[in-house]
C-alpha cells in the first residue's frame, strides 16, 4: 500500500506549561488504512491531531502528505483532509443546520446541488434529517457530534483525522457512524486516524493500533498483534452446572482455578499452558455447559496503558 501521510521524528513542547507533549513521534498512515491512535489522558493524541491538521507547528520533525511538507502546501492540503475534534464545531451555531452545511460547502468550493445531495444522504445515514431546519445551538451533544461528522465529510476528504469523534453519542448512533465510516473507507479508500477512549470505536474501526505514552510511540502494529501483545495469556471459562453434586466435585478439583462462584456457576481463569490439564479434568464431570469468553478489550487497553 502507498504511504499517504508520514510523521517523522515530530516533537512539540508547550512553552506555557513546559510540557514535552510529543517526543520524536514517527509513524506512517497508508492509503485506505484505518488507525486507532490510542493512549492515556495527556499522552499527546490531540497534539498529534492538531499538528496533522496544521493548527499547530511542531518544534522539530516533518509531516508529509503524498511526500510533501503539509505546512508548505497548507491550502491544498486542507481541502484533502477532514478534521473533527469531538469537543469543537466548525458549523455556524445560529443558523439552520442545512444553511450551516451550505456555508461550509461553499467554503470548500462545492456546487450547491452537490452539497444538498450529500447532506441529504449523510443526514439519512446518521438519522439527523429531522434536525436540518433547526439550529445547532439547540442540539444535544450527540446530535452536534453527528452533524459535525457530516460537516467533516462534505468535501470527500482523502484522509480523516477524528479526535474523539464519538463523545456523547449513544450506542445506536455510534454503530451508524461506524458503518458510515467503514463504507467510506471501503468505497472511496479514505484513510482514517481516530483517537478514542471508547472500546467499541477501536473494536469496530481499527485495523492498526498506534499506542502513545508520554509523547512517545510505544506500540505500532496490527490490531490482532496489539491484542496478543497486551492481552493476558489467560482465558475466562465459565462452567454452568445443572447438578449440585457435580458442581461440588468440580469446585473441589478445580479449586486452584476458581476466580468466582455465582450459584452453581464456576468462573475460572485458566492460563493457556494449563488449558490441556484443565480440559482433561473437565471430561470427568457431567451435566454442565462450558462457556469460554473472549478477552475483554477494555482490560487489554488498561494493561497497555500501564505498560
Ligand atoms: N494548549 C496547551 N498548553 C499547554 N499545555 C498543553 C496544551 N495542550 C496540551 N497540553 C499538555 O500537553 C500534553 C498532551 O496533551 P494532549 O491534549 O495532546 O493529550 P491527549 O492524549 O489528547 O489527552 P486526552 O486523552 O485527555 O484527550 C498534556 O500534558 C497537556 O497537559
Ligand atoms: Mg485529546
- Cell numbers describing residue 237: 471459562
Q: Give the residue, 142 or 227, on which the prediction is more confident.
A: 142
Model confidence band, residue 78 (pLDDT cutoffs 50, 70, 90): very high
Model confidence band, residue 294 (pLDDT cutoffs 50, 70, 90): low
Q: Which domains does the chain have, with CATH numbers?
A: 3-229 (3.40.50.300), 234-294 (3.30.70.790)
The stretch 172-201 carries a mean pLDDT of: 94
Tell me the average pLDDT of the chain. Answer: 92
Q: How far is CA 304 from CA 47, 199, 211, 219, 230, in A?
A: 20, 13, 8, 9, 6
Residue 21 CB less than 6 A away from ligand 1 = yes
30-34, 135-139, 223-227, 245-249: least confidently modelled range: 223-227
Residue 27 pLDDT greater than 80, yes or no: yes
The DSSP line for 201-235 is HHHHH-SEEEEEETTEEEEEEEHHHHHHHHS-SEE
Residue 18 CB less than 6 A away from ligand 1 = no
Model confidence band, residue 307 (pLDDT cutoffs 50, 70, 90): low
Q: Give the pLDDT score at 31.
A: 96
The DSSP line for 46-101 is HHHHHHHTTSS--SEEEEEETTEEGGGSHHHHHHHEEEEETT---S-SSSBHHHHH
The stretch 181-192 carries a mean pLDDT of: 97
Residue 41 CB less than 6 A away from ligand 1 = yes
Q: How far apart are the CA of 301 and the centre of ligand 1, in A?
A: 20
Span 46-55, pLDDT tens digits: 999 999 999 9
Residues by chain with Cβ below 5 Å of ion ligand 2: 45-46
Amino acid at each position: 500500500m502507498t504511504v499517504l501521510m508520514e510523521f517523522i521524528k515530530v516533537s512539540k513542547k508547550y512553552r506555557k506549561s513546559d510540557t514535552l507533549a510529543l517526543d520524536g513521534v514517527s509513524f506512517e498512515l497508508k492509503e485506505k488504512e484505518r488507525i486507532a491512535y490510542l493512549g492515556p489522558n495527556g499522552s499527546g493524541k490531540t497534539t498529534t491531531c492538531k499538528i496533522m491538521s496544521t493548527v499547530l507547528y511542531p518544534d522539530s520533525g516533518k509531516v508529509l502528505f503524498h511526500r510533501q511538507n503539509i505546512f508548505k502546501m497548507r491550502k491544498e492540503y486542507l481541502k484533502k483532509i477532514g478534521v473533527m475534534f469531538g469537543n469543537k464545531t466548525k458549523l455556524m451555531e445560529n443558523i439552520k443546520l442545512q444553511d450551516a452545511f451550505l456555508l461550509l460547502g461553499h467554503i470548500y468550493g462545492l456546487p450547491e446541488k452537490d452539497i444538498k445531495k450529500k447532506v441529504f444522504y449523510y443526514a439519512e445515514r446518521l438519522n439527523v434529517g429531522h434536525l436540518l431546519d433547526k439550529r445547532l445551538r439547540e442540539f444535544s451533544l450527540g446530535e452536534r457530534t453527528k452533524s459535525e461528522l457530516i460537516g467533516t465529510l462534505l468535501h470527500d476528504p482523502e484522509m480523516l483525522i477524528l479526535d474523539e469523534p464519538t463523545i456523547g453519542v449513544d450506542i445506536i448512533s455510534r454503530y451508524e457512524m461506524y458503518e458510515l465510516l467503514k463504507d467510506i473507507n471501503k468505497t472511496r479508500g479514505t484513510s482514517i486516524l481516530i483517537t478514542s477512549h471508547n472500546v467499541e470505536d477501536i473494536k469496530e474501526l481499527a485495523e492498526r493500533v498506534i499506542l502513545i505514552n508520554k509523547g512517545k510511540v510505544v506500540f505500532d502494529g496490527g490490531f490482532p498483534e496489539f491484542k496478543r501483545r497486551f492481552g493476558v495469556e489467560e482465558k475466562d471459562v465459565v462452567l454452568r452446572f445443572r447438578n449440585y453434586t457435580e458442581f461440588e466435585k468440580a469446585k473441589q478439583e478445580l479449586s486452584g482455578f476458581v476466580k468466582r462462584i455465582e450459584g452453581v456457576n464456576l468462573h475460572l481463569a485458566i492460563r493457556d499452558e494449563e488449558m490441556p490439564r484443565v480440559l482433561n479434568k473437565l471430561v470427568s464431570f457431567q451435566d454442565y455447559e462450558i462457556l469460554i469468553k473472549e478477552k475483554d478489550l477494555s482490560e487489554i487497553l488498561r494493561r497497555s496503558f500501564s505498560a
